[in-house]
A and B are shown apart, each in its own frame.
Chain A
Amino acid sequence: MKAKSIKGRSVEEVSSALEQSMTYDFKPTLAIVFISIKQDRNAVCKILSDKGIDVAGATSCGEFINGYQDQGSIVILLLDLHRDAYSIFFRDVGNRDLAEVAKKLAHNALQKFNTPAFILLSTGMSKEGIVFNGEELINNLSKEFGGKVNIYGGMAGDDYSFTGSYVFTNHNHTDMGAVALVLDEEKMGLLGNAISGWQAVGTIKTVTKSEDDWVYTIDGQPAPEMYLKYLGKQSKTDEELKTLYEDIGLFYPFQVIDSADPVMRTPMMIDKERNAIKFDFPIPQGTKLQFSMPPDFDIVENVLADADQLRNTNRFEAEALLIFSCAGRLNALGPLTNSENDGLHEIWKAPMAGFFTYGEFGKGKKDRPEFHSTTCCWVALKEK
């Protein structure tokens, strides 16, 4: 397999980058596209389709390839891979049962390949502001394989605008669904990991009043007040509150610590009138929460050291690299995300593309694929 990564700040730029990349010995069959919602997805898809290239793509909160990172742009990982080795499934989920969707997807993948692996791109939030339950999707999908399956990917972003994020193929797109690039693991090798670095700190708190994803009081106190207090901002104007998510929501998520494995829950917005915080997922009353702090700066070194070790122990030589990095990392680690992403590229020495996500899919500490947030999730690919 040959791979090249290209980028552009406009359709034209990408178009010419594509022309340049296609040489006599590089004829890409597949394009993995990460694109800002500000760019014309359809135009990009058309250019790729005209060249007979298959598309699997997602919108983003910032895009990057080796040596380049930006927001509002287009990046593409081009793969020259035999069509026997992969297949693309598009699923417009809407409000259908995710368990059912996952089951069918697994079934279809197994009809194609004995050992399918998934590059899974799902939407993040719909036009109506409904968060896609990526957790349920990956858990169900993984269950179909008894946890023994490779699934890596991310949830699409929308430049923190919350106006809707999309996944797409050459001719289809949805704001509530998923695109699965299914690889034949008999022909393709995958190796990846997901590391967060966010740490729960402070006292354990209890949600005392909530309704679906709205949390009204925590430990008997108005939730917004408490949350803002942590941020050292007592009161905020409505305008300021709108940008809260971008500012801090991803910066300081809450960790739900009821269950055996803590999960992140991210404040999405504060409604002054309701005097409540809206989270990305429903939070039942009685939930135990802990405030969490962004990772130390040395997390970048940890992510890289870990990747290096995985590479050495598995003697894996990558031909391409995909990175799904939580949008919160961009806030919390700023320019250090450059070092993280480029550092991973340095280790694998393979063309890389990635984007800042609203959620990541991949194998982390556990021995099965999981849903993550706040992680840097990467997967290295090679043809066997």
Chain B
Amino acid sequence: MNQNLQNILKLVEESEALSAEQKKSVADWIKEVDKTITVTEFKLDRTEKVKKTTAILLEETIQELELKRKAVQETNDALHKSLEELKATQQQLIQSEKMASLGELTAGIAHEIQNPLNFVNNFSEVSSELIDEMTEELKKGNMEDAQAIANEIKMSLEKITVHGKRADGIVKSMLQHSRTSTGKKEPTDINALADEYLRLAYHGMRAKDKIFNSAMKTDFDESIGLVKIISQDIGRVVLNLITNAFYAVNEKKKLNLNGYEPTVTVTTKKTGNKVEIIVKDNGIGIPQKALDKIFQPFFTTKPTGQGTGLGLSLSYDIVTKSHGGEIKVDTREGEYTCFSIILPV
């Protein structure tokens, strides 16, 4: 017991002024006080000890936090770097996707050039024969006949020019497609563009898959006129959509459904100050759970190695970002898919 308390207790016990009962009360109080002091002393002492330890632990925790912060920082930097690398890779992929679609086009292009070339060859031969005939007639002094033949030759030459120009156009558009986008909007005949890519895509598919076949329908709004767009970019969008459409009808065809006729329809429409390009197919459609993802880069349901899954993602960027337009999809699984590109004019 605390010495002072002991003194008090002694004094009280010896006191004659207090009754026995009072003495007992005082003694009890003093015991209570002593207990409180003991507890308080203990608490103080323990608090001191714990304080020391807590300070050390706190210091340690701070150190570890600092280490963790550094680690997080490093991870962050590394992440940043890989993000940059990823972006670069993506850029490369975009380029190679472009090249790939060019490859797909080559077959179509070859086929397309073949036609005018045939014409050019035929009409050259025909012209050559006609010249021989004309020479004969001239020798005979048959001026009237010679004149008629000359007219035919002229028509034939005109046809050669037309078909030559067509081949020229095809080659130019191919070059345009492979060139990196100039980003410049130029007045473009959207109907012609759609028509061209439809045929190119079709022949591209045929070249890869001999038995591929599909009906192609077009419904062009002739009132559209020229629209200012980055033509090689929109060209790629249209090509992507049509290629996807052909793929979808071909997949459905593989199911050997009775009376199934693969059909891809390309429609253009002008409404108010908007131009719409609609690519519709009666193929396999898109299941609901895939629908949210089709515009994500690298999402594909094609077997590995066959699709990059970049087609729609790039198309989306081209339409929305560089043209301020919209790309919409309407589909029913197993029945149809209809993509619309809506461009402001």
Contacts and interface: CB of A to CB of B under 8 A. Distances in A.
B46 A332 contact: yes
A232 B52 CA distance: 6
Contacts of B42: 334-336
B330 interface: no
B32 interface: no
B99 interface: no
B96 interface: no
A297 B44 CA distance: 11
B253 to A, nearest CB: 57
A230 B46 contact: no
B70 interface: no
A232 B64 CA distance: 20
Given A335-B39, A335-B42, A336-B42, A230 B50 contact: no
Interface string B208-219: 000000000000
B311 to A, nearest CB: 49
Contacts of A297: 43
| Size band of the interface chain B makes with A | 10 to 19
B54 A203 contact: no
A38 interface: no
B56 interface: yes
Contacts of B22: none
B64 to A, nearest CB: 5
Contacts of A336: 39, 42-43
Nearest to B37: A335
B56 A229 contact: yes
Interface string A289-318: 001011001000000000000000000000
A203 B61 contact: yes
A356 interface: no
B53 interface: yes
Given A293-B50, A332-B46, A335-B39, A230 B61 contact: no
A202 B61 contact: yes
Nearest to A203: B64
B53 A252 contact: yes
B35 interface: yes
Given A202-B61, A203-B61, A203-B64, A334 B46 contact: yes
B46 A294 contact: yes
B53 A230 contact: yes
A201 interface: yes
A101 B46 CA distance: 41
Interface string B46-70: 1001101110110011001000000
Contacts of A251: 49
B38 interface: yes
A231 B39 CA distance: 22
Q: What is the interface of chain A mostly: helix, strand, loop, or mixed?
A: loop
A297 B43 CA distance: 8
A293 B54 contact: yes
A201 B43 contact: no
A251 B52 CA distance: 14
A293 B56 CA distance: 12
A334 B57 CA distance: 23
A293 B39 contact: no
B53 A335 contact: no
Contacts of A293: 50, 53-54, 57
A248 to B, nearest CB: 8
B57 A202 contact: yes
B59 to A, nearest CB: 10
B234 to A, nearest CB: 59
Nearest to B63: A203
Nearest to A332: B46
Nearest to B38: A335
A238 to B, nearest CB: 22
A293 B39 CA distance: 19
Contacts of A335: 35, 38-39, 42
Contacts of A332: 46
Contacts of A294: 46, 50
B139 to A, nearest CB: 110
Contact of B60 (A202, A232, A334): A202
A133 B119 CA distance: 101
Interface in A305-364: 332, 334-336, 339
B194 to A, nearest CB: 65
Nearest to A232: B52
A229 B55 CA distance: 11
A76 to B, nearest CB: 25
A230 B38 contact: no
A50 to B, nearest CB: 37
Interface in B1-52: 35, 38-39, 42-43, 46, 49-50, 52
A203 B39 contact: no
Interface string A218-254: 0000000000011110000000000000000001100
30 contacts: A201-B54, A201-B57, A202-B60, A202-B61, A203-B60, A203-B61, A203-B64, A229-B56, A230-B57, A232-B49, A232-B52, A232-B53, A251-B49, A252-B53, A291-B53, A291-B57, A293-B50, A293-B53, A293-B54, A294-B46, A294-B50, A297-B43, A332-B46, A335-B35, A335-B38, A335-B39, A336-B39, A336-B42, A336-B43, A339-B39
Interface of B: 35, 38-39, 42-43, 46, 49-50, 52-54, 56-57, 60-61, 64
- Please list the 6 inter-chain residue pairs (A to B) with the smallest Cβ-Cβ separation, ordered nearest first: A202-B57, A232-B52, A334-B42, A203-B64, A335-B39, A335-B38
Given A232-B52, A293-B57, A294-B46, 20 more contacts: A201-B54, A201-B57, A202-B57, A202-B60, A203-B57, A203-B61, A230-B56, A231-B52, A232-B56, A251-B49, A252-B53, A291-B53, A293-B53, A293-B54, A294-B50, A334-B39, A334-B42, A334-B46, A335-B35, A336-B42
